[in-house]
Chain A
Amino acid sequence: MIRKLEKVLCAALLGLCLLPLISFGAHAEIISTQEAVAMESGQSLAQVETWLQRDDVVAELAALGVDPDLARIRAEALSPAELDELAHRIDEMPAGAGVIEVLGITFLVLIILEIVGVTNIFNR
């Protein structure tokens, strides 16, 4: 029991020690080139830093079935502009899927047309 308490206390202490490091690391010491590019296209640094935290994009990807650890890795590779797009318009954005889905939907349309009686492909 005491051991357990010790462990918990140790972890808490370690966490407290690391806290300033984490908040310091939230933005790097210098302005990154990516941030400077975003600022030149009219974004504020605060806005860019919010995007770069990436939490909402990680959550979006995870909600769409991406493994949460993988979602974090994937979000780390995105630029501020891409993060902004994904955070706000992920459902409206093109997601290349391919020919097979097209065939599937075409088939569905044909069936509907057949049932409604517009076409007679399957029923000659």
Chain B
Amino acid sequence: MRGNTGTSRLSRLVLFCVSASVLAGCAGLRLADETAGLPTAVNLETVPFHPQTEFHCGPAALATVLEHGGLEMTPNDLAERVYTPGLRGSLQAEMVATARAKGRIAYRLPGEPRSILAEVAAGRPVLVLENLGLESIPYWHYAVVVGYDSGGNIMLLRSGEEREQRVSAGRWLRRWDRAGRWAMLIIEPGQWPVDPDPDRWIAAVADFDAVADAPEAARVWQQTLERWPDAPLAWLGLGNTEFALGNLEEAVRAYRRLLALDPDHASGRFNLAVALDRSGRPCDALPLFEALASHESLGERASKRREHSAQACSNLGR
């Protein structure tokens, strides 16, 4: 048994080397294959750089993308919004929430390198989360992808204290992969990702809408409807912002467009009924509330409103 120790050590070493190379092989990334139809090399040199101070890679990376989008920001301004002392770091949720609070839409890119490369090629830096440690002992780190070179197979990043970090594509992919392939595009209202997915976009706009001024939110819903006029939730979004602005007629019109696309849309029916009720048409609202009275989620609220509309309708003498 003892005599075998040397051999077993050797075999373990061989096994380790083999598995390491297999793992590396799995996570290989050849930029030349990923950049078909894109420029072979991009370097967004005008993207600003904020070197991070201790544990503050989150605020630094966020300031980098926000400032590129035209907002004067320093990492210090952002630290109080994203940095959590007890975690000695910044949570992804708070990074994107802060971008929204600053008037930007946070669009989560699909977890494919190509989607990042395409945005960079279109002139937009991309915020990414990396894991510089191991799966079991993670070291989370935010960085900003600002370019690539498919000839040298390298990625260019603003990272930590390095203005232009050059990392081999394979090594970078492993870091990104270990962090769940998280990539965020922080985009100004009126702009579009290169290849937007309707569901991802609408979810991003709904979250933006929740903290944005109503007129700004209405403009982004209009923008969305120009591209996808058949998206029910975008009509709901537009109707809700019009409602918030007190434009009840516009709200009613938007909700009706939504119901023309999806007649059973419960939130659309409920909100249409409320808008009708509020604009002096309780008798029109009544059947909508009645139809929702047995709805699983909205039933209770619809029943309450139904009584109110019924009273108001009978007061009108109809």
Contact = CB atoms under 8 A, between A and B. Distances in A.
A47 to B, nearest CB: 9
B73 to A, nearest CB: 15
Given A30-B240, A66-B85, A77-B98, A101 B209 contact: no
B141 A96 contact: yes
Interface string B147-165: 0000000000001110000
Contacts of A40: 233
A77 to B, nearest CB: 4
A116 interface: no
Most buried by B among A29, A33, A40, A95: A33
Interface in B122-181: 129, 131-133, 137-142, 159-161, 179-180
A85 interface: yes
A64 B89 CA distance: 11
Interface string A63-76: 11110001001101
Contacts of B14: none
A45 B57 CA distance: 36
Given A64-B84, A96-B90, A36 B52 contact: no
A61 B139 contact: no
B271 A31 contact: yes
A78 B96 CA distance: 9
A117 interface: no
Contacts, number: 155
A43 to B, nearest CB: 9
Contacts of B237: 33
B142 A96 contact: yes
B161 A30 contact: no
A118 interface: no
B55 A100 contact: yes
B274 A29 contact: yes
Given A31-B298, A66-B85, A93-B93, 15 more contacts: A30-B271, A31-B270, A32-B210, A33-B233, A61-B84, A70-B80, A74-B81, A77-B211, A78-B97, A79-B97, A82-B97, A94-B91, A98-B160, A100-B55, A101-B139
Interface of B: 52, 54-58, 61, 80-81, 84-98, 100-101, 129, 131-133, 137-142, 159-161, 179-180, 182, 202-203, 206-207, 209-211, 233, 236-237, 240, 243, 266-267, 270-271, 274-275, 278, 296-298, 301
Interface of A: 27, 29-37, 39-40, 44-46, 61, 63-66, 70, 73-74, 76-79, 82, 85-86, 90, 93-102, 105
